[in-house]
Amino acid sequence: MVRKLLFAVVLGLVTAGLGVPSTAGATRVDIDAVRSWNELALNVVRTTRASDADAARLYAMVDVAMYDAVNGIESARGRASRAPALVPGAGPRNGDEQAAAAAAANAVLTRLDPARVADYDAALAAGLARLGDGRDVTRGAAWGARVGELVVAARAGDGSTPVETQPAGAGPGVFRAAWPGVQYRNVRPFAVADPGRYVPGPPPALESVPYAAAFAEVAVLGNAALPAPDLLATFQFWSLPAGSDQPPGEWLRIALTVAGDRRLPLTEQARLTALLTMALADTTVTTVATKFRYQHWRPTTAIREADTDGNPSTAADPAWTARAGSVGGTPEYVSGHSSYSGAGAAVLQGFFCADAIPFRLATDSAPGGTPRAYPGFSAAAAEAGRSRVFGGQHFEFSNQAGLAIGRGVAAETLATRLLRTTGPAHFGACPR
C-alpha cells in the first residue's frame, strides 16, 4: 500500500493520469532512460550474484518492456509502425517516451527484485522530475508502468522456475558434478520459434583425432603450471563470475557504449537493446539444452583421467590444474561464454550493418579495471571464446560450437522480430 501511494504521488495520477495540468515554465532534461535503467539492471545482477541464465532473462524483460512502451507511443503517432516484442497495442499519442521507458523498466525491476523497490521508485521519481510534470510525462509514465506489468505477467510461468538439477555423472567423457539451473533448457523463448533447432551435434568422440588435437591444445594453453601472464589476463578479463554482470551483461554494455557513441535516438536504443537481450536470453535455452544433453567432461577431468578415454594420442596427467584455478561448474560442451558472445556480436553486426565499429571495454573482471580496445564486434567475440581455452575451462570445439549457437539464434532474431509492419520490413540486408 505504501508503495502504491508513493507511486501515485510520483506520477501525479488522477483519474487514470489523464487530467494533470502542466506546470508553467517547467524545464525538460533528457534522462537517457534506456542507459540509466539498464545500468540499474546490471547492478542488480551484480548485487544478487545472479547466474548467467537468470541475468539474461532479467535483461530481456527490462529491455522488452522499454521497447514495447516506446513502440506503443510511436505507433499511436502514426510513425513507421513496428511489431511489438511482447505487449501489443498503441500507447497515448501524446505520452512522453522517456517517461514511458523509465516507468516500464521500473515496473519490471520492482517485481523481479522486490528487496530494492524503494531504490527503483526513487530513481523513477528523480527521472520523471527531470522531465517535468506535464500531462505528457504523466501519460507516458502511466502507459509504461502498464506495459512493464504486462511483460512480467506474460513471462510468469515461462519455465525459469522452479530450479532443476542434473545429477552428477560418472565414467569417461561425463561431467562429474550435479549442476542446478537445467530448467532453462525448456524455458519459453523470447524471439526464436524453437531454440532446440540450434542444439549442435555431439562433441568429437573421445577416441577421435579431433578430440586428441583439442585435448593437446588445452593441455598446454590452459595449464596453470606453465606461466603465461597474457593468457591469464585474457581469461580473467572475460571470466565474469558470480557477482559480475555476467557475460550477457557485458554484451549489453557494449551495445550501450556503441549506441552512445553514435548518439542513437531513444527509439533505436530501445530496439537495439531489445533485439540483443532477447537473443541473449534465447541463447541461454539452447546452451543449457546442449550441456544437459551431452553432459561432457571438463578439461581438468579429461586430462587427469586420459588413461580411461580409449584414445592412444592422449596422456593422463593426474596433477594437471586449469589456469582458471577451477574445474568449471557446468558440463563442458558447449561454452556458454562463447554462445553469448556469438549472439551478442551477431546482433550488433546486423543492427549496425557493420562489424568494424571500434569500441573500448573494461569488463567487470578486467584485471586492474584496465580497458581493452577492439576493432569490432567479432574480434571481441573471438577473444572471449578463446579465453575459455586459455583458462583451461573448455576445448576449442566447444568454443566454436558455442559461437555458432549464438550466431544462429541472433540471425533468426534479426530476421523475424521488431520489424516494420508496413512497407518494406528490411533495409537492404539489415533489419531496419
Report the pLDDT averaged over residues 389-418: 97
pLDDT at site 5: 34
Distance of CA 211 to the CA centre of its chain: 30
- Which residues on neighbouring strands pair with residue 373, listed in sequence order? 360
- Mean of per-residue pLDDT scores for the chain: 92
- Residues of the chain with pLDDT > 90, as a percent, come to 88
- The sign of the dihedral angle between the CA atoms of 405, 411, 416, 418 is positive
Residues 58 and 76 in one domain: yes
Same domain? For 178 and 128 the reply is no
Residue 222 forms part of a structural domain: yes
* Whether residue 330 sits in one domain with residue 197: yes
pLDDT exceeds 50 at position 23? no
Q: Are residues 268 and 391 in the same domain?
A: yes
Under DSSP, the state recorded for 34 is H
Q: What pLDDT is attached to residue 133? A: 79
What are the grid coordinates assigned to 298, written together? Answer: 571438463
- Do 149 and 169 belong together in one domain? no
Please write down the long-range contacts of 242-245, taking CB distance under 8 Å and 24 or more positions apart. 242/49, 242/50, 242/51, 243/46, 243/49, 244/45, 244/46, 244/363, 244/364, 244/365, 245/42, 245/45, 245/46, 245/55, 245/364
- Work out the angle at residue 169's Cα, subtended by the Cα atoms of residues 164 and 170, and round it to the nearest 5 degrees: 170
In the predicted structure, residue 147 carries a pLDDT above the cut 50: yes
The answer to whether position 99 is within a domain reads yes
- Give the pLDDT band of residue 28 (cuts 50, 70, 90): confident
The neighbour count for residue 176, using CB atoms within 10 Å, is 16
pLDDT for 15: 29
Let me know if residue 353 belongs to a domain.
Answer: yes
Strands (E), 50-204: 165-166, 179-180
| Lowest model confidence (mean pLDDT) among 27-31, 173-177, 251-255, 280-284 | 27-31
pLDDT at 31 over 80: yes
> Does residue 430 sit within a domain?
no
Is residue 228's pLDDT more than 90? yes
What is the domain extent for residue 249? 165-416
| Averaged pLDDT for residues 173-178 | 98
Residue 7 predicted with pLDDT over 90:
no
The CATH number for 120's domain is 1.20.144
How many Cα atoms occupy the beta-carbon half-sphere of 183 within 13 Å? Answer: 13
Q: Could you tell me if 142 and 170 lie in one domain?
A: no
pLDDT tens-digit map of 90-111: 999 999 999 999 999 999 999 9
422 occurs within a structural domain: no
The angle subtended at Cα 127 by Cα 25 and Cα 417, nearest 5°, is: 120
The pLDDT, as a whole number, for residue 431 is 66
Q: Are residues 91 and 229 in the same domain?
A: no
* Residue 117 CB coordination number (10 Å): 17
- Do 180 and 145 reside in the same domain of the chain? no
Q: How many domains are contained in the chain?
A: 2
Q: Tell whether 73 and 114 lie within a shared domain.
A: yes
- C-alpha 169/C-alpha 43 separation (Å) is 35
Distance CA 72, CA 95 (A): 10
Tell me the average pLDDT across 55-75.
97
